[in-house]
Amino acid sequence: MDIAIRLKKLREDKGLSQYRLARHSGVSQSFLSSLEAGAKWPTVYTLNKICGSLGVSLSEFFSEEGARGGQAGALLAELIRLDPGQCSALAGFLSCLRTAGGQAGQVTAGTGEGSSAGNPGTSGGAGDLNRLEEALRLSEQKFSSFFNFIPVPVLVCDLYERRIKDANEVFLQNLGYRRDEVVGRRLTDFELWADPNERDSLGRLIVERGALHDIVVGIRRKNGDQGTALFSARIMEIDGTPCIVGVMRDITGRKGLEKLRETCL
């Protein structure tokens, strides 16, 4: 199924503009535009929100594909009942299948908006930071656009006060926070890191080295659930202020599979 065509047709049949659908579903208009252009793919979480605003279920969204579409819709309906930890575990399992030569669909099992078209995520945190820095070098407007579209959690904080200047939607959704609960607060005001000592040590290392790449860290979501992430960060100047730009790639599912393999061996 071409999700972009199906989504646009349903929206137009309902007489909704992208702006109205975005307001009703809580998904950004720019992301909806990218979905309909085929430039991005939605996660189950986001697609379910959009379908709810269009007055259809996930099964109905895929119904035009016949039996195969019905099976996909039923599977997606089950996926949205998973909690973030279970989604991460499933995503890690699917990643292993893809590595082994299997094929995965275009709807991902995370809780962020979705992934960019192409082959996202293969270059790691350093690659994400390279692209962010290149966008910033071109213009701060391009940095802002890329910051909001990159399909991994990104956080920007002031280098000296460690006050958070911005967080993208993927970060907020994956960690379970609202924007107003994060932006303007210091990193020490809430427990993003499972171990505060680890957070402080990483902060010192960033200042000393200017960058960190793919450091395994423990993370804590707003609801208290803990997980594991690969943390990469780099010092960049934004609006004339030295900032730490950090990328957190959730590998909780991968770690769970590794432990399962060790148990089975």
pLDDT at 105 over 70: no
CATH number of the domain enclosing 80: 1.10.260.40
CATH number of the domain enclosing 234: 3.30.450.20
Residue 179 and residue 103 in one domain: no
Domain range for 43: 3-116
Mean pLDDT across 241-245: 91
How many other C-beta atoms can be found within 10 angstroms of the C-beta atom of residue 93? 16
Structure tokens at 26: 């809580």
Torsion of the alpha carbons at 9, 12, 17 and 22, rounded to the nearest 10: -40
Beta-carbon-side half-sphere exposure of residue 98 (alpha carbons within 13 Å): 13
183 contacts: CB under 8 Å, gap ≥ 6: 164, 165, 166, 167
Which of 83, 116, 149 represents a domain boundary (last residue)? Answer: 116
Judge whether 122 lies within some domain: no
Tens of pLDDT, residue by residue over 76-102, are 556 655 655 555 555 555 554 444 443
Q: Which of 32-46, 81-95, 136-150, 163-177 has the highest mean pLDDT?
A: 163-177
Mean pLDDT across 148-157: 86
Residue 110 and residue 141 in one domain: no
pLDDT at 156 over 90: yes
Residue 143 and residue 250 in one domain: yes
Mean pLDDT across 2-11: 86
The CA angle 145-147-152, to the nearest 5 degrees, is 135
Mean pLDDT across 240-247: 90
255 contacts: CB under 8 Å, gap ≥ 6: 92, 228
Strands, sheet with 164-167, edge to edge from the N-terminal-most edge strand: 164-167, 154-158, 241-250, 226-238, 211-220
